Structures are given as structure tokens and as C-alpha cells.
Structure 1
Amino acid sequence: MGSTRRGMLNVLIAAVLWGSSGVCAQYIMEHSQMTAQFLTMTRLIFAGLILLTLSFMHGDRVFSVLKSRQEALSLLLFSLVGALTVQLTFLMTIEKSNAATATVLQFLSPTLIVAWFSLVRKARPGILVLMAILTSLAGTFLLVTHGNPTSLSISPAALFWGIASAFAAAFYTTWPSALIGRYGTLPIVGWSMLLGGLFLLPFYASEGKNFSVDGHLLLAFFYLVVIGTSLTFSLYLKGAQMIGGPKASILSCAEPLSSALLSLLLLGITFTLPDWLGTLLILSSVVLISLDSRRRARTA
């Protein structure tokens, strides 16, 4: 198998596993009465430790970023506003709605990124980007109203956390590029997860005695942290390096689709026709942005 096919397979598997991790998180919260805050805290701490261990075994300079005060502060900002916020808002959206809706709303982040850069650079967006913005807005409208502007098909809280999740994902994607370029992806992401989880520890650690946990829930938590976070991240990173960001973005559209299908099969959650149409419109915006990136790369 060639490197391109191998890279595409890695990204596709990662996207499906990411979709399944949201469903897994929903299962844990529903069956243990665990709060989104407590699950965010434990998921980040364990995943951060795993990624830092992998990074250390890989020979990365794990502690170098902590030696510079300015870069340590930048890492702390990324940990709190990036890693912590993107995970917490995502799980809060699941808690207020379901995994599939949370995943689709978070996929608004690419549109937010291109719209923001167009404003900052005072550059008129191209036709593909304009189409992406319009399709993402139309998709969100269908998803949250089912076509009736006088009513919401999801709760206001779910809509708030879902939009917040998209903004957090946009920040998470764009902010740490300088740190990652200097120290590598695994150390920065590992530290950001660990620090984000430790930040919540004084506030939510005491909730640990309120949950009833059995073997199924422990297995689900293991899957969420090890498979759905650590392994998935590594697969996506390796695959994206092989095939490039635009192709990886298109293939990552399998994430919300897998989340919707698994929610239907495992949790009994059904998507109506407006839900599916809204999802496809939002995913098409990601494809349009990726096509615009490829076009710009060819003409550069």
C-alpha cells in the first residue's frame, strides 16, 4: 500500500474513532450520571499523561517548553482556552443534546477560521469560501430549527455550547502553530491536555465519589481515553502528514457521519431529514474550504 493510501486510511480510521468517542462519552454520562466537567477533567489528565509518555519515548524535548517563561505562559493559555475549552464545550453540548449534534456543530470551526482570517487580512473571500460560509449557515439553521425559524429543535443551552465548541475548536486549531513548530505536536498537545485537566481538579475532583461505576463503564472510559483520544490523535497526525491538510479535512468529514450512525445504532437517537440535510450542508462547507486551500496551494 502506497504512503498516500496509508495516510488516507489513517485519517479515515481516526475520523471514525473520533466520532465514536463522542458516542462513548454520551454513554458514560447517561449511565453513570457523571457530569461533563468531571469527564472532561479525567479524560484530559489521562490522555495528557499518555501523550507525554509517548512523546518522551519518541525522544522529544518534553520539558523544554517549560523553561521559557513566555512560551510556558503561551502553553498555559493554549491549555485553558484551547484544550480545556474545546473538550469541555464539546462534552457540555453532548450533555445538553447528543453526540451527533455536538460533533456536527463543532464542524463549523473551519468556516469560522476562514471568515476570521478574511476579516483580519481585509481580503475578500473567494467564491468557494463564500459558498462554504453560506452552506454552513444554512446547515446550522436546518439543524437547530428544522426549517422553522420560530422554534428550536435543540435546547438553547445545547446551541450555546455547540457554537462555543466551534469557536474553541477554531482557536485550538490556529493558536499553537508556533509552539508546535518549535517543540513538536505531541509535547504541546500532551501538556495542554494535562494542564487543562489539572486546572479542573480542585473544583470537580470531589465529584468522583458520587458515581456508580461498573466494568462496562470502565471499559467505555478506557476506550474514550486510549482509543478515542490518544490513539486517534496519533493516527490523524501521521495520516495528515502523509496526505496534507486539505485532503485530511475532507476525510475527517467521516467523523460526524460515524457519530450520527453510531448514535442511531447504539443509543437509539434518530436524525430527521432536516438533521441530515443540515449535517450534509455543514460538511460540504468543510469540503469547499479544503478545495479552496488546494487551489491556493497550486497557484502559489
Structure 2
Amino acid sequence: MGSTKKGIMYVLLAAVLWGSSGVCAQFIMQESQISAPFLTMIRLLFSGFILLTLSFIHGDKIFSILKTPKDAVSLLLFTIVGALTVQLTFLVTIEKSNAATATILQFLSPSIIVAWFAAVRKTWPGGLVFLAIFTSLAGTFLLVTHGNPTSLSISPAALIWGIVSAFSAAFYTTYPSTLIARFGTLPVVGWSMLLGGAMLLPFYAGNETHFVVNGGLLLAFFYLVVIGTALTFSMYLKGAQMIGGPKASILSCAEPLSSALLSLLLLGITFTLPDWLGTLLILSSVVLIAMDSRRKGHAKQPG
């Protein structure tokens, strides 16, 4: 199998597993009565530890990022606004609605990123990007109103948390590029997760937290942390390196689709026609942005 086909397979499998991890998180919260913040804390602590361990085994100097105050402050900002916020808001959105809706709303982040850079650079977005922003807004409108602007098909809390999740995902995607270039992806993301989980510990230390634990839930938690976070993250990175960012972005659209289908099959959550149309419009915005990035990349290449 060629490297391109392998890359496509890695990214597609990672996207499907990511989608399934949201469904898994919803199952855990429903069956165990664990709150979204508590699950966020446990997930971040375990995932951060696993990623840092993998990074150390890989030969990375995982403590280098903590030695310089400027880098440590940048990591702290990324931890609070990025890793902690994106995980917490995503799981709270699931808690207030469902995994599929939370995943789809988070996919507004590419449109937020391109709109933000256009505003900062004071440049009008190109045709494809402008169309992407429009389709993402239209998709969100359909998803949350079912076409009726006088009523919401999801709770206001779910909508607000979902939008915050999209903004935090946009920050999470764009902010750490300098840190990653200097220290590597695994150390940066691993530390941000571990520290983010540690920041939630004081809220639960010494407090009794009641929840149900059984073999099925432990297996689901193992899947969420090991398969749905650490393994999936590594697979996506490897695949994206093989096929490039734009292609990886398009293939990652399998994540919300897998989340919606698994929610339907495993959790009995039904999607109406406006839900599916809204989903497809939001996903089309990701494809349009990836196409625009790919076109610009080709334009920069020497003839």
C-alpha cells in the first residue's frame, strides 16, 4: 500500500474513532451519572499521561518546554483556553444535547478561523471561503431551528456551549503552532491535557462524587481515553503528514457523520431531515475551506 493510501486510511479511521469517542462519552455520562466536568478531568489526566509517555518513549525532551518562563506561560494559556476549554465545552454540549450535535457544532471552527484571519488581515475572504462561511451559518441555523426561526430544536444552553466549543477549537487549532514547531506535537498536547486535568482536581478533591461503576463502563472509559484520544490522535497526525492538511481536513468530515450514525444505531437518537441538511452544509464549509487552502498551495508552487 502506497503512503498516500495509508495516509487516507489513517485519517479516515482516526475521524471515525473520534466520532465514536463522543458517542462513548455520552454513553458514560448517561449510564454512570458522571458529570461532564468530572469526566473531562479524568479524560485529560489519563490522556495527557499517555501522550507524554509516548512522547518520552519516542525520545522527545518532554521537560524542555517548562524551562523557559515565556514558553511555560504560552503553554499555560494554551492549556486553559485550548485543551481544557475545548474538552470541557464539548462534553458539556454532549451533556446538554447529544454527541452528534456537539461534534457538528464544533465543526464550525474552520469557518471561525478563516473569518478571524480575514478580519485581522483586513482582507475580504475569497469566493470559496465566503461561501464556506455562509454554508456553515446556514447549516447551524437549520440544525438549531429546523428552519423555524421562532423556536429552537436544541436547548439554548446546548447551543451556547456548542458555539463556545467551536471558538475554543479554533484557538486550539491555531495558537500552539509556534510551540509545536519548537517542542513537537506530543509534548505540547500531552502537557496541556495533563495540566488541564490537574486544574480541575481542586474542585473535586475531598468532595464526594457519586457515580455508577461496572465492567461495561470501565471498558467504555478505556476506549474513550486510549482508543478515542491517544491512539486516534497519533493516527491522525501520521496520516495528515502523509497526505497534507487540506486532504486531511476533508476526510475528517467522517467524524460528525460517524457520530451521527453511531448515535442513531447505539443510542437511539434520531436525526430529522433539517438535521441532516444542516450537518451536510456545515461539513461542506470544511470541504470548501480545504479546497481553497489546496488551491493556494498549488498557486505558490513554482511552475
TM-score (norm 1): 0.99
Deviations, residues 147-174 of structure 1 (Å, cap 9, x unaligned): 0000000000000000000000000000
User: Structure 2: how far apart are the matches of 1:188 and 1:61?
Assistant: 11
CA distance in 2, matches of 1:207, 1:292: 50
Counterparts of 2:151 and 2:67, CA distance in 1:
52
Report the Cα offset of residue 61 of structure 1.
1.1
Partner of 1:76: 76
Partner in structure 1 of residue 174 of structure 2: 174
Distance in 2, matches of 1:30 and 1:292, equals: 40
Which residue pairs with 2:153 in the alignment?
Answer: 153
* Root-mean-square deviation over aligned CA pairs: 0.7
2:48 matched to which residue of 1? Answer: 48
Instruction: Tell me, in whole angstroms, the C-alpha distance in 2 between the residues paired with 1:186 and 1:205.
Output: 28
Q: 1:252 aligns to what?
A: 252
Counterpart residue number, 1:127: 127
How far does the alpha carbon of each residue in 1:23-44 deviate from its partner, in whole angstroms, 9 at most, with x for none? 0000000001100000000000
Structure 2 residue aligned with 1:219: 219
User: In 1, Cα distance between the equivalents of 2:281 and 2:207?
Assistant: 39
Counterpart Cα distance in 2 of 1:244 and 1:119: 26
Partner of 2:281: 281
Supply the AA of the counterpart residue of 2:179.
Answer: L
Q: How many residue pairs get matched?
A: 300
The answer to whether structure 1 residue 189 and structure 2 residue 189 are counterparts is: yes
Distance across 2 between alignment mates of 1:47 and 1:144:
32
Measured after TM superposition, the shift of residue 212 of structure 1 is: 1.5
Query: What secondary structure is seen at the aligned counterpart in 2 of 1:34?
Result: coil
Partner of 1:91: 91
CA distance in 2, matches of 1:125, 1:295: 14
| Pairing of 1:13-32 with structure 2 (within 5 A) | 13-32=13-32
CA distance in 1, matches of 2:189, 2:5: 26
CA distance in 2, matches of 1:58, 1:226: 17
The residue number in structure 1 matching 2:66 is 66
Preserved CA contact (<8 Å) 1:143 1:153: yes
**Counterparts of 2:207 and 2:170 in 1: how far apart (Å)?**
30
Alignment-derived partner of residue 237 in structure 1: 237
CA distance in 1, matches of 2:129, 2:204: 41
Question: Are 1:136 and 1:282, in contact at CA under 8 Å, matched by a contact in 2?
Answer: yes
Looking at structure 1, the residues matched to 286 and 253 of structure 2 have their Cα atoms a distance apart, in angstroms, of: 8
The whole-number CA distance in structure 2 between the counterparts of 1:22 and 1:107 is 13
1 CA distance for matches of 2:184 and 2:71? 13
Q: Shift in Å at residue 209 of structure 1?
A: 3.8
Evaluate the alpha carbon distance shift between residue 235 and residue 205 of structure 1 in structure 2; reply closer, same or farther with a 3 A threshold: farther
Structure 1: gaps of 5 or more residues:
none
TM-score scaled to structure 2, two decimals? 0.98
Per the alignment, do residues 32 and 70 of structure 1 end up closer, same or farther by CA in structure 2, a change over 3 Å counting? same
Alpha-carbon shift at residue 191 of structure 1 (Å): 0.2
**Cα deviation per residue 1:221-254 (whole Å; 9 max; x = unaligned)?**
0000000000000000000000000000000000
> One-letter code of the match for 2:100?
A
Separation (CA, whole Å) in 2 of partners of 1:136 and 1:145 = 14
Does the CA-based 8 Å contact 1:37-1:204 persist in structure 2? no
Q: Distance in 2 between matches of 1:205 and 1:5?
A: 47
1:210 aligns to what SS in structure 2? coil
Amino acid at match of 2:144: V
Distance 1:273 1:206, change over 3 A: farther
Check conservation: 1:11, 1:251, Cα contact below 8 A.
Answer: yes
| Aligned residue identity for 1:261 | L
Runs of 4+ aligned structure 1 residues displaced above 2 Å come to 204-209
Aligned residue in 2 for 1:165: 165
Tell whether the 8 Å contact from 1:38 to 1:207 is kept in structure 2 after alignment. no
| One-letter amino acid matched to 1:235 | M
Counterpart in the other structure of 1:201: 201
1:124 shift after superposition: 1.2
- Structure 2 segments unaligned to the other structure (5+ residues): none
The answer on whether the counterparts of 1:15 and 1:252 sit within 8 Å (CA) in structure 2 is yes
Distance change >3 Å, CA 207–CA 282, structure 1 → 2: farther
Secondary structure of 2:75 counterpart: helix
